Amino acid sequence: MAACLRLRSPDVPRGRGPGTHGRSGCWRPGRGACRRPAPPRGGETYELIRRGGPFPYDKDGSVFGNRERLLPASKRGYWREYTVRTPGSRDRGARRIVCGGPPRVPDACFYTADHYASFRKIVE
């Protein structure tokens, strides 16, 4: 059985990096809702990250520059982005999971539903 992933909303002002407290929802990768479904299709993407792919979009796994400075500061190449499918969207949509560290066993992953305007930490 897959671990329950919890999303935590940041409690810090925008531009100061993510917090670790706040309202949370969770989902089981590839298994449906654990409590509240959050985010849609995110579990599938997280499972692909943990397996190392294959990813449905060419840009999945590309370096995320953290230009918004909402994630903890790290060297270039530490953060990578992955698309969370958006049903009905003709393009990649706005949903992403951004992970830092080793690709299959990341140090931390964050979910954004609004194309990097805000992030929620994924906690297993």
Domains and CATH numbers, the chain: 5-123 (3.10.450.30)
Determine if residue 65 is left, alpha or beta; phi over 0 gives left, psi from -120 to 50 gives alpha, anything else beta. Answer: alpha
What is the per-residue pLDDT across 102-116, written as a single tens digit (0 to 9) for each? 989 999 999 999 999
Alpha helix (H) residue ranges in the chain: 42-51
CA distance 43 to 80: 17
Catalytic residues: 81, 115
> Each residue of 57-116: pLDDT tens digit?
999 999 999 999 999 999 999 999 999 998 888 899 999 999 999 989 999 999 999 999
Q: What is the pTM of this model?
A: 0.74
DSSP state of 39: S
> Which residues 6+ apart lie within 8 Å of 27 measured at CB?
4, 5, 33, 34, 37, 38, 39, 42, 43
